[in-house]
Amino acid sequence: MREAAIVSEPNPLQRIPGVAMVLVLLIALFSVIAPGFLSVANLSNVLVQSTILTMLALPMTLIIMTEGLDLSMGAVLTLTSLCVAIVSLATKSMLLGLGAGLLVGTAFGIANGWLVAILGIPPFVATLGTLGMAQGLSLIVSDGQSVVGIPHSVRDIYSATLLGIPVPIVMALVTYAAFHGLLYHTRFGTYIFALGGNREALRYAGLSPNRLLIAVYAIGGAMAGIAGLLMTARMNSGHPTAGLGLEFDAIAAVAVGGTSFERGNGWLLGTLLGVLSVGVLRNGLNLISLPSSVQVASVGVLVIVALFLDGLRSRA
Partner 1 sequence: MTDITKDAIAPPRSFLSQDAIQLFYRLLAALLICAVLAVLSDSFLSLGNILNVLRQASLTFFIASGLTLVVLTAGLDLSVGANVALSACIAGTVIHKTGSPALGILTGLACGGIVGLLNGIMVTALRIPSFIATYGMLWVLNGLTYWYMAGETLHGFPAGFRQIGSGYLFGLPIPVYLLLVFLGIGTLFAQRTIWGQEIYAIGANPVAARLSGIPVARRLLLVYTVSGTMAGLASIIFLSRLNSAEADIGESLTLPAIAAVLIGGTSLFGGVGTVFGTFIGALILTLVLNGMNLLSVSANWQPLVTGIIVILAVWLDMKTRRRTQ
Partner 2 sequence: MKQKLGYLALPLLMAAAFSTQARADGETIAIFTKNQTNPFFQTVRVGADNMAKTLNAKTLQYIPTKPDSIPEQLSQIEDVVVKKPSAIVFTPVDYKAMVPGVEKINEAKIPVVNITDRSAGGKFLSFVGADDYSLGLETARFLLKTLGGKGNIVIIEGVKGSLTNVDRVRGFNDALKESPGAKLLASQPGNYQRLQALQVMENLMQSNSQIDGVLAANDAMAVGAIEALDGANRKAQVIGINGTKEAIDAIKSGKLLASGDYNGFAQGCLGTMMAIRSLRNQPVISEIVLKPTVITKDNYQPFDVPLEQRTCPTFEEAGKLSAK
Binding site for partner 1 (CB under 8 A): 67, 69, 115, 119-126, 128-137, 139-140, 143-144, 248, 251-252, 255, 261-262, 291-304, 307-308, 311, 315
42's contact among partner 2, partner 1, none, with CB below 5 to 8 A by partner kind, is: partner 2
Alpha carbon distance 16, 20 (integer Å): 5
Output the smallest distance, CB 296 to partner 2, in A: 4
Output the smallest distance, CB 245 to partner 2, in A: 6
115's contact among partner 1, partner 2, none, with CB below 5 to 8 A by partner kind, is: partner 1
Please report which residue ranges of 35-122 form alpha helices under DSSP H: 40-65, 73-91, 94-113
**Which residues, other chains included, contact 45 with Cβ-Cβ below 8 Å and sequence gap of 6+?**
283
Nearest-CA neighbor of 74 among 270, 261, 249?
249
Among 13, 293, 315, 316, binds partner 2 (CB under 8 A): 293
231 in Cβ contact with 223 (< 8 Å): no
231's contact among partner 1, partner 2, none, with CB below 5 to 8 A by partner kind, is: partner 2
Output the smallest distance, CB 36 to partner 2, in A: 5
Answer yes or no whether residue 282 interacts with partner 2 by CB under 8 A: yes
DSSP string for 237-267: SB-TTTTTTHHHHHHHHHHHTT--TTT----
66 in Cβ contact with 264 (< 8 Å): yes
Answer yes or no whether residue 93 interacts with partner 2 by CB under 8 A: no
Answer yes or no whether residue 139 interacts with partner 2 by CB under 8 A: yes
Scan residues 195-234 and list those touching partner 2 (CB under 8 A): 231, 234
49's contact among partner 2, partner 1, none, with CB below 5 to 8 A by partner kind, is: partner 2
Binding pattern for the stretch 235-274 against partner 2, x by CB under 8 A and - elsewhere: xxx-xxxxx-xx----------------------------
Kindly state the number of chain residues that form the binding site for partner 2, as judged by CB under 8 A. 41
Answer yes or no whether residue 54 interacts with partner 2 by CB under 8 A: no
Nearest-CA neighbor of 146 among 16, 268, 211, 241?
241
Question: What letter represents residue 183's amino acid?
Answer: L
H or E segment and range at residue 18:
none
Q: Which is nearer to partner 1, 99 or 228 (CB)?
A: 228
Question: Strands (DSSP E) along 82-226, which ranges?
Answer: 161-162, 165-166
Answer yes or no whether residue 295 interacts with partner 2 by CB under 8 A: yes
Output the smallest distance, CB 128 to partner 1, in A: 6
SS3 label, residue 63: helix
**Angular region, 94: left φ>0, alpha ψ -120 to 50, beta rest:** alpha
Q: Which is nearer to partner 2, 198 or 241 (CB)?
A: 241
Rounded alpha-carbon distances, angstroms, from residue 107 to 77, 126, 175, 222, 302: 12, 14, 20, 8, 34
Rounded alpha-carbon distances, angstroms, from residue 212 to 114, 152, 313: 11, 38, 32
Q: State the residues that interact with partner 2 by CB under 8 A.
A: 35-36, 39, 41-42, 45, 48-49, 52, 139, 142-146, 148, 155, 158, 231, 234-237, 239-243, 245-246, 282-283, 286-287, 289, 291-293, 295-296, 299
